[in-house]
């Protein structure tokens, strides 16, 4: 699937289109829980009706069926909204899929605050935390459509349990699909810099890149920007290097600031090369209904907050030297 | 059923019961009551009904078995040991820190275990997934699952049954082990999922009710299940918790406690008297 640089496309759309495309030469089964039109598994369902099963509004059972299919040798993709996959079906994922290390890919869409108007019950801000504490689970939070498509292909071609997080909101493509290859477990340096590092996951690359330009232009601060699609296993080397070379880190994620990538980076930094780590994310509160742009501003998932946190991290870095 | 077959199945059931006692006694923990209640059905499944190969536990064409009421693991392990998947003597390592025999079934490490279970309500979904896989792949193996009566209080059980009927999974046979007791007391006193027949029937299942300790009825039920096309079958197996050991029968306390040395000796003597 070609996604053009700069085009605005939601990662769920890339997921659905790629799933249907991969169906041609990859033998896998797709499950959904009455959200196929929204998760975009509908494209696969239409192309391969004999390999698609709608489990109805019963996410725990869907994950259990996925486990049984996988135990019988199938590669399985199971989709719902992040809230009902990682949330409602957490224990089924933990006990029926991950504990026996079965070949099930939990592909969760509508993650984070960018669900928008549906509000707090549907805005899952806890899934990265829930999924990364499960042993043996690979957790991927793609940035744009190109990365989402590549991560999905990698997961389907790799044995074991995966959690992949997709968004509802259309975001600009920043990777060139002609040259891009997904590197599992590796962060990607988008902008080189020496003064501070900002690590973004999922859709946060956009406010982070904008913040980095502002910091350079207005404050002459050289920001290293890293895109981190794989939340687990974590790229500890790129984090340690950033800590050593820039001495201050800010992590930005569309997730509760507790338990997600910010926590994972802080855990890594404290054990490898201690330096200030600040987090941009939803500050341990529930979301609410609204259009996406005002929601992002209301919860501080914007360039302004990234700039603020970078400046705070740099102040602490300076203070610690003194 | 001819008498030679009946004698063999009764013998295997008694050996399974001895294996259950060996395991929970050695572990000083575990669930003897609900293991004893399924021993006769386990004997029939593995020594008369299912195609399995102990020399090749992962044989692609094997029939699948899911112990959805995973706490009855001692019965499954004793059955697999009798069938030759691993030595009978290893049953005394049950629940020990260096043993493969986990407190609940672990498909990754125990030969012959087709699905990891233990969290109630989940195994039945996996069994449905296995039956679905056979349909997708046009394979003729069958899938069997045993669900506890208390376990059926989990809503996921009914989600799984609904899906199985919707997809006409006639290669699936679900046994409800209706022994009437759960940890906190009689199921009738808790939230009472019984009676089962009408519920299962309205969920789209072919339903058969049997005495879980009568081999003729067990045989007829599994034969009937195999003959039914276009819908899955559920067997409501009226069983006795702790069956075979006088002081365990129909006693809630034997759901999840192990016999002491004296109780173990008495229980073994009672089972051996049946051999």
Backbone φ and ψ for A148, nearest 5 degrees, come out as -60, -45
CB-closest option in A51, A71, A101 to B126: A71
Q: State the smallest CA–CA distance between residue B40 and chain A in angstroms.
A: 26
Q: Edge-to-edge, what's the strand order for the sheet holding A75-81?
A: A52-54, A28-32, A75-81, A104-109, A162-165, A138-140, A230-232
Contact (CB<8Å) A50/B116: no
Q: Do A238 and A186 form a contact (C-beta atoms < 8 A)?
A: yes
Q: What is the ipTM of this complex?
A: 0.97
DSSP per residue over A76-137, as a string? EEEEEEHIIIIIITHHHIIIIIITTT--EEEEEESBSGGGGGG-GGG-B-SHHHHHHTSTT-
Tokens 């392990």 — which residue? B77
B124, A74: Cβ pair inside 8 Å?
Answer: no
CA pair distance A177, A158, nearest whole angstrom = 21
Closest chain A residue to the Cα of B161, Cα to Cα:
A61
Classify A147 as helix, strand or coil: helix
Residue of chain B with shortest Cα separation from A57 = B159
CA neighbours within 13 Å on the CB side: how many for B66? 35
What would the pLDDT profile of A184-224 be if each residue is shown by its tens digit?
999 999 999 999 999 999 999 999 999 999 999 999 999 99
Q: Would you call A96 and B122 a contact, using CB atoms and an 8 Å cutoff? A: yes
Confidence of residue A1 (pLDDT cuts 50, 70, 90): low
Q: Does residue B275 carry a pLDDT above 90?
A: no
Number of alpha carbons in the 13 Å side-chain half-sphere of residue A115: 25
Using CB atoms, which residue from B66, B116, B159 is nearest to A99? B116
Domain that holds residue B167: 3-274
pLDDT tens by residue, B67-116: 999 999 999 999 999 999 999 999 999 999 999 999 999 999 999 999 99
Phi and psi, residue A138, nearest 5°: -90, 130
The C-alpha angle with vertex B78 and arms to B72 and B79, in degrees rounded to 5, equals 95
Residue B100 CA neighbour count, 13 Å, CB half: 15
Nearest C-alpha of chain A: how many angstroms from B163? Answer: 7
Distance between A239 CA and the closest CA of chain B, angstroms: 34
Which pLDDT band, with edges at 50, 70 and 90, does A240 fall under? Answer: very high
- Mean per-residue pLDDT, A162-183: 96
Parallel, antiparallel, or unpaired: how do β-strands A230-232 and A138-140 relate? antiparallel
* Interface contact flag, A68 B115, Cβ < 8 Å: yes
Contacts of B129 in chain A (CB under 8 A): 64-72
At B177, give phi and psi (nearest 5°): -85, 95
Name the minimum distance, in Å, from the CA of B246 to any CA of chain A: 35
Chain-chain contact of B108 with A64 (C-beta, under 8 angstroms): no
Q: How far apart are CA B7 and CA B47, in angstroms?
A: 12
Overall domain count for chain B: 1
CATH number assigned to the domain comprising residue B262: 3.40.50.970
Mutate to test the interface with B, among A61, A84, A161 (most CBs of B within 10 A): A61
Residue A74 and residue B136: Cα distance in Å, rounded? 10
Residues of A with a catalytic annotation lie at 59
Q: What is the pLDDT of residue A53?
A: 98
A322: pLDDT strictly greater than 80 = no
Contact of A163 with A142, CB cutoff 8 Å: no
């Amino acid at each position: 699937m070609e996604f053009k640089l700069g085009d605005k496309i939601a990662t769920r759309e890339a997921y659905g289109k790629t799933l249907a495309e991969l169906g041609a030469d990859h033998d896998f089964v797709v499950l959904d829980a009455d959200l196929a039109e929204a998760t975009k598994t509908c494209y696969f369902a239409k192309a391969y009706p004999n390999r698609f099963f709608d489990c109805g509004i019963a996410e725990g059972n869907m994950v259990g069926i996925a486990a049984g299919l996988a135990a019988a040798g199938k590669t399985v993709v199971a989709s719902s909204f992040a809230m009902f996959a990682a949330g409602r079906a957490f224990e089924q994922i933990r006990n029926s899929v991950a504990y026996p290390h079965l070949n099930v890919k939990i592909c969760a869409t509508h993650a984070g605050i960018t669900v928008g108007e549906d509000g707090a019950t549907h805005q899952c801000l806890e899934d990265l935390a829930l999924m990364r504490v499960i042993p043996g689970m690979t957790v991927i939070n793609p940035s744009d459509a190109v990365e989402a498509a590549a991560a999905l292909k990698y997961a389907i071609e790799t044995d074991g349990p995966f959690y992949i997080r997709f968004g509802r909101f259309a975001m600009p493509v920043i990777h060139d699909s002609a040259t891009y290859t997904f590197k599992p477990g590796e962060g990607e340096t988008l902008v080189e810099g020496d003064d501070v590092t900002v690590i973004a996951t999922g859709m946060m690359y956009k406010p982070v890149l904008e913040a980095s330009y502002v910091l350079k232009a207005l404050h002459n601060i050289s920001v290293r920007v890293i895109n981190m699609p794989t939340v687990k296993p974590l790229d500890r080397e790129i984090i340690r290097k950033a800590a050593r070379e820039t001495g201050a880190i800010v992590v930005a994620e569309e997730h509760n600031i507790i338990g997600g990538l910010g926590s994972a980076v802080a855990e890594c930094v404290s054990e490898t090369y201690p330096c200030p780590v600040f987090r941009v994310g939803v500050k341990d509160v529930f979301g609410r209904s609204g259009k996406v742009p005002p929601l992002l501003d209301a919860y501080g998932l914007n360039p302004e907050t990234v700039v603020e946190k970078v400046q705070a991290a740099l102040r602490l870095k300076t203070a610690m030297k003194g | 059923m001819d008498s030679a077959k009946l004698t063999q199945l009764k013998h295997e059931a008694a050996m399974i019961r001895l294996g259950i006692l060996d395991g929970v006694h050695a572990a000083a923990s575990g669930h003897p009551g609900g293991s004893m209640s399924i021993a006769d059905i386990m004997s029939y499944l593995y020594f008369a009904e299912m195609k399995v190969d102990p020399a090749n536990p992962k044989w692609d064409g094997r029939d699948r078995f899911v112990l959805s009421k995973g706490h009855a693991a001692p019965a499954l392990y004793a059955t697999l040991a009798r069938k030759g998947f691993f030595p009978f003597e290893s049953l005394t390592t049950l629940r020990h820190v260096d043993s493969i025999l986990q407190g609940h079934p672990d498909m990754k490490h125990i030969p012959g275990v087709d699905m990891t279970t233990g969290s109630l309500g989940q195994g039945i979904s996996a069994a449905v997934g296995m039956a679905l896989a056979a349909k997708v792949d046009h394979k003729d193996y069958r899938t069997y699952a045993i669900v506890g009566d208390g376990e059926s209080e989990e809503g996921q059980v009914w989600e799984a049954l609904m899906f199985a009927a919707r997809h006409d999974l006639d290669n699936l046979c679900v046994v409800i082990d209706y022994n009437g007791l759960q940890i906190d007391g009689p199921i009738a006193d808790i939230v009472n999922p019984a009676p089962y027949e009408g519920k299962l029937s309205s969920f789209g299942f072919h339903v058969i009710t049997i005495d879980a300790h009568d081999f003729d009825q067990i045989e007829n039920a599994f034969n009937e299940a195999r003959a039914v096309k276009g819908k899955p079958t559920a067997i409501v197996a009226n069983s006795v918790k702790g069956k075979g050991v006088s002081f365990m029968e129909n006693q809630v306390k034997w759901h999840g406690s192990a016999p002491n040395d004296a109780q173990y000796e008495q229980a073994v003597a009672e089972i051996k008297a049946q051999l």
